[in-house]
A and B are shown apart, each in its own frame.
Chain A
Amino acid sequence: MSVKIEASEGGMPHDKMLGIGVVGALVCLYIVYLNSLMSTDVFAFFGGLAAVIALWWGTDSIKTLCSYGLGTGVPSAGMISLGSGVIAFLFATKLAGISPLLVPLGCIIIAAIIGAILGFISDKVLNMNIPVMTRMIAELTIVGSLTMLGFTAMISGSFIFTDLIAGSVSFLGMVVTSYAASVIGGCILATIFMLGAIAIQHPFNACLGPNESWDRTQMCALECGFLSMLVVAVMSVAFLSLFAVVISFVISIILWGWSYSEYIKLSKRDAYAWLDSKPIREVGGE
């Protein structure tokens, strides 16, 4: 027995969300680049904000795609999004060898190419015949790669490949450079990968049902994003100065607390009843 998937009408048009998502994420990522220009790492948290904006937009893409019924769960769409996104993201960080400013924009373009091909394969080769499939898988790949890029920038303060592979270990008071202690060498990417893969699918998966509403689902997306930012801030102790970590952590926890309480308020608004320690209320007054 399956549950019918019903997506809410209304809310912001998807194209507008796409615009906000792309522009917002790009602006935040370029602000992270100020770290390199000003030799500091306090701007790292803007990477997390970029990821949250991308996730906020990706939630609506997943909703549009999954309202067609894929035969398999919503989570798999999150896995394919990040699975292809990680490839576009790692390739894009290497573009820094040409110009560091190319990385965020290149990330979007490469992800769009990979995603469009994957979408074409699932729509036409696998005969899914879902009209929005090619576009939505392409969007999801972009979201996945931007999420990876944003959280990676937040954890290390940079999105340049040569920075991501260089780590330092202090051993008996001496600082030694080691590739094994870097973002890529330690494969901290695996953690970011799963954080993104769950955060992108959770809002729609958690809120689906006949009374799903746009603003509640989107608030859940923000909540998931800020929660991921919070743990990314914890992990950034390995790479950033203590001052930058504290700034990231405080900003994340304030935003998460705000979004979580807003989400509870919206759930209270939408719920049929909000009961504490009450028995089962039989439908039809049995």
Chain B
Amino acid sequence: MSALGGGSSGGEGINPTASLIALVIVLVAVAVVFLVYPAATVPLIGVIIGGVLISFGVHFVPVGGAPAAMGQAPGIATGVAMLAAGGGLAGLFGGAWAAEFGIAISLAAGAIGGGLLMAITCLMVNVVYVYAMGIPAASGKVDKDPITGDTFPAYKSQGTEGHGLPFISYVGGVLGGLFGGMGGTLIYYELLQVYEEALPSVIGASTEGLTTLAVSLAGIFAVGMFLVAAVLTAYNITGTIEGPHDPKFKRWPRAVIGSSAASAVCGLFAILLVVI
């Protein structure tokens, strides 16, 4: 993303005590909402699932960081949190548009919006690598593509860790966009339901522009929570990952635990907004 890379490698494994505390935080948040405003219990769970989907999805997005810009490492040459945000927010755009059709279509539209952005972006990355730079795709972490069976070591140019987006990374990018778009839309949709239901009684009888108000509140909360979950996940994979075949992918459980606690706390305050 910027001139910074490397740094702390991030420890392996799961810290059991801390993970337990994180799960307790999730339960406490749900319990508080259940006691204070029972109607919002299901939306809060939806928000938590949304955060988990975002965090899980970011692990699929193949991002190589700064070295990818010189063809030194495979993946997309940008920051992981922000690329996922690009996909997820484009999904949010589609999901919010389809919100009137109900939750199923809204979620599907959000997922497709994110997946479509990633599908086109990843295609254009490969087009630039192949047709403008004359470089074939090669992964650095595995010798063989798990999907197509292509071999990579011979296609890696001298002195690099690989380059471009092999097919497994492409599929990972699309999956990441699907999960991210769906997660962002789920957070938005659930909060929108809460606000549309509760705001008229909180504010008073007039409903002029009330839908816009609910959309704005849910939208800005969704953007904020999306960024929190995406950045936490970026910390988990220390900025770069090749896709689902990367060894770092195995770290996803702790990011999922962390994001569920983070989105539970954020969702708790977002919902309590209408209670006070």
Contacts and interface: CB of A to CB of B under 8 A. Distances in A.
Interface of A: 1-3, 5, 66, 68-77, 79-80, 82-88, 90-91, 94-95, 97-98, 110, 113-114, 117-118, 120-122, 124-130, 162, 165, 167, 176-182, 184-187, 189-190, 193, 205, 208
Main secondary structure of the interface of A (DSSP, over half): helix
B3 to A, nearest CB: 5
A1 B65 CA distance: 10
Interface of B: 1-15, 17-19, 21-22, 25, 65-67, 79-82, 85, 203, 206, 208-210, 212-213, 216-217, 219-221, 223-228, 230-232, 234-240, 254-255, 257-258, 261-262, 265-266, 269-270, 272-273, 276
B81 A76 contact: yes
What are the nearest 5 A-B pairs in CB distance? A69-B7, A71-B238, A180-B209, A73-B1, A124-B18
A181 B210 CA distance: 11
Nearest to B67: A1
Nearest to A4: B6
Contacts of B212: 179-180, 185-186
A148 to B, nearest CB: 10
Main secondary structure of the interface of B (DSSP, over half): helix
Given A76-B234, A117-B261, A178-B208, A69 B224 contact: no
Given A3-B3, A128-B8, 10 more contacts: A72-B80, A72-B238, A79-B230, A91-B269, A121-B262, A127-B12, A127-B254, A162-B203, A180-B209, A184-B213
Contact of B2 (A75, A79, A86, A127): A75
B2 A71 contact: no
Contacts of A98: 276
B235 A122 contact: yes
B44 to A, nearest CB: 13
A91 B232 contact: no
Given A71-B238, A118-B232, A179-B208, A127 B213 contact: no
Residue picked from A76, A182, A185, A187, most chain B C-beta under 10 Å: A76
A70 B216 contact: no
Nearest to A126: B236
Contacts of B13: 127
Contacts of B3: 2-3, 208
A235 to B, nearest CB: 15
B216 A86 contact: no
A71 B5 contact: yes
Contact of A91 (B18, B216, B237, B273): B273
